[in-house]
Chain A
């Protein structure tokens, strides 16, 4: 598969009065053409900051890209000036934000907001831009586009607004679409509609999607590959089947078992103890070690490298070291592993 984006050892810091917050601490990631990569993790794990760095949306100051490269079509996005970045943003890479209530301008008609990017990046005239905007509204499934195009955001429901936001993001046929929790603010039924819409559109316009979320159900629905982030790092990455049916990192185990599915009947839900690490003073060794029931001595001393599980699957945990003791994953994870489609065929 063709690589479209390559992130190498990205580091993002924020300088605050209390000290430097190391929000992203060395993320390396490839994005392939036409795939959907989901980034999961709890708040503060650095998933949103990573995506904002790709868009050049890190406020500087207090933020800074402290190291690493973001390679897109031979350019390093981390080193572009704001002017240069403006030609990329919205044209080659565009973004769908979490909250459709606040990401639209309340004083502009939605037609104008869609046309804004088209006129700027595709250098089209007003009439042509208007035509294209109408087509986009049709594409994202908004009924009566000729009427709706003249309306303001407050006249739309949440789900409809998110469709408008998607239309704006798609206006310039971006090569990469970053969706930062696009359905978190929506109801389940509307969420299902928007996810279906995004999947269909992806097939039609052939774009790569980076999907940021903390909802593993949504991940299972949309993703081809999954990256699990914790404490500003990727701790496990693999195909969606690798992550759900053969997870290796104790944090991934914790995430999976703390989410009940409809068969969960255990008396006690597994909860990851403690709280996320303080990235002002990142812990030495494995950042997850203090919350990890499987932690070993080395976890507190030395950071684990990425161990290869298979061609597509990597995880950063010392448990994968050949000298590590064999541990049994929690019950809920073992149950999940048994549901694997490959396992079913074997049986």
Chain B
């Protein structure tokens, strides 16, 4: 069902209530998602983005409620990722001569996905295309979150369509931010930022400043997932500035897996030490926890403490996924520490410590290693490590 944003501007997307995994199985989406596309009916008919391929029939039906897809003059593809471009081939079968507007790198990535010689027009930041009462104004946004990413601003309606930026994987009955549960909305907005945009935080800050400097009036921010920000739309821009700054957090996360509870007992003792200094902490068994929810907690925390038993002269494979996220997401302004049990060769602790250092998280203190099952003095050392972690968190503030 199409939803009107303003005169001549419609949401024609698809809500995906059942979605529980995204990016294949990399990202959990407990609250589903939506694939937002926007139709502008002016002297020219313009479609901005499409929906993920499995939903192409429903998507074409939604577009058809407003106009005959054959009458689309321009398709803007802000981003080539399949959740947004997936129905492009289907739309282009209806309107094969439409202009496809992309960034320079968008031409390469769209052609790279669909291998079709469509009528491409590449645009740069600041370029305008008049469509009647409205102008389309483009802002390239490389690495937010792909090289091809672009924002489209609808001058005349004051609607910014930034594709993935400011979006949330959040399926809802109503499409505007003032109509939904605010706690859920911000949980999903933060989870999205933490899991996808963290590594590009310096670019997020630059891009926000660049867009604000254009002094364009913004009545609505209409992203490619989740709700449209129409009530105080700048609230999410300010939130992004706060998140992108990655100020040091004031709590700790302890991430571990354990074969026979030795490492678990060490983790618990570290937690006791942290709490004894009035610093909050969360303990995550990474083998059992949702990795993306853990990433969100890491994002909020000031300290990351990682523990594993030594296993095959390494660490447990179950701790490797979150270690990969510590590397890949390029968190800033965090400190770390390591711990774990061992039975004989004991390489695990050094592996974790090296990894944490390579992730640009300075080690608070030397990690703690315990043989077989930790003895009382091993657990004391763990509590001391927790105290040092908490003191370091406080010292940074």
User: Do the two chains bind?
Assistant: no
Instruction: Give A residues with C-beta under 8 Å from B.
Output: none
